[in-house]
Amino acid sequence: MLKQWIKTCLLTATLLAAGTANAAITEGKEYKALAKPQPVAVAGKQEVIEFFWYGCPHCFAIEPHVEAWEAKLPKNVNFRRVHVMWDGRNDLEGHAKIFLALEAMGLTRRHQMAVFKAIQQDRIELRREEALFEWIGKQGIDVNKFKANYNGFSTKAQLNKLSAMSRDYNVDGVPMFVVNGKWVTSPSMVGKEDDTITKVINELLAKDKTAPKSAPAKK
């Protein structure tokens, strides 16, 4: 009995060790280094940026897992969503403006999935202003405030900022996640569109606990 018990314990330990080894992430496989590291937005905090596009079905598929992960984030992790803007892709602008308007109103997190569902499931063309503003009203959002932010004076400058970030972070596909301005991962890298991606992000956060430096203040 004692020998059998010892044998069982050794087998269990071996399986656990193997499971841990399999769970380890590898640079060049589940993640890679960003070619040109970028500063984080908040000094002393770790950072995760999700680059996405409302018209991307892969972004839509992964978003429920991202939201569940976001709800459990510790206070020392700053999570940012950034709508991608690629040069020469005018079809992205309408969706990016929806993101910017919701972001300005502090409503991005609350309505992120609703926008995805309207575009991906209900096939509502939210790049048409008439359809967009009607839909916005049905969500209980102040339409006039939304319009003011959607067509605001600073909207063009904010779109240019999204374009600059897409270039600076070398975003070549979405969804894409950047950890602490230097590690990149994505569902396409891990090969799954489930919570595996958030587990990889957590591994990267644990791997890189040193608080990154923020961008210098503009004078």
Q: Which residue has the tokens 């499931």?
A: 121
- Digit-coded pLDDT (tens) for 66-113: 999 999 999 999 999 999 999 989 999 999 999 999 999 999 999 999
- Digit-coded pLDDT (tens) for 63-78: 999 999 999 999 999 9
Phi, then psi, of 156 in degrees rounded to 5: -60, -40
* Higher per-residue confidence, 18 vs 133: 133
**What does the pLDDT average to over 171-175?**
97
pLDDT of residue 103: 97
Q: Is the pLDDT of residue 11 over 90?
A: no
Please count the residues of the chain: 219
As for how many domains the chain has, the answer is 1
Phi, then psi, of 7 in degrees rounded to 5: -60, -40
Label residue 174 exposed, middle or buried (CB < 10 Å: 0-12, 13-18, 19+): buried
C-alpha closest to that of 127 among 172, 92, 75, 173: 92
The whole-angstrom separation of Cα 59 and Cα 39 is: 24
Range of the domain at 102: 27-206
CATH number at residue 50: 3.40.30.10
Q: What pTM does this model have?
A: 0.85
Q: Confidence class of residue 24 from pLDDT cuts 50, 70 and 90?
A: confident
Confirm whether 97 is domain-assigned.
yes
The whole-angstrom separation of Cα 130 and Cα 147 is: 11
pLDDT of residue 20: 34
The whole-angstrom separation of Cα 177 and Cα 201 is: 8
The whole-angstrom separation of Cα 201 and Cα 30 is: 10
Confirm whether 2 is domain-assigned.
no
The whole-angstrom separation of Cα 216 and Cα 219 is: 9
Confirm whether 85 is domain-assigned.
yes
Confirm whether 123 is domain-assigned.
yes
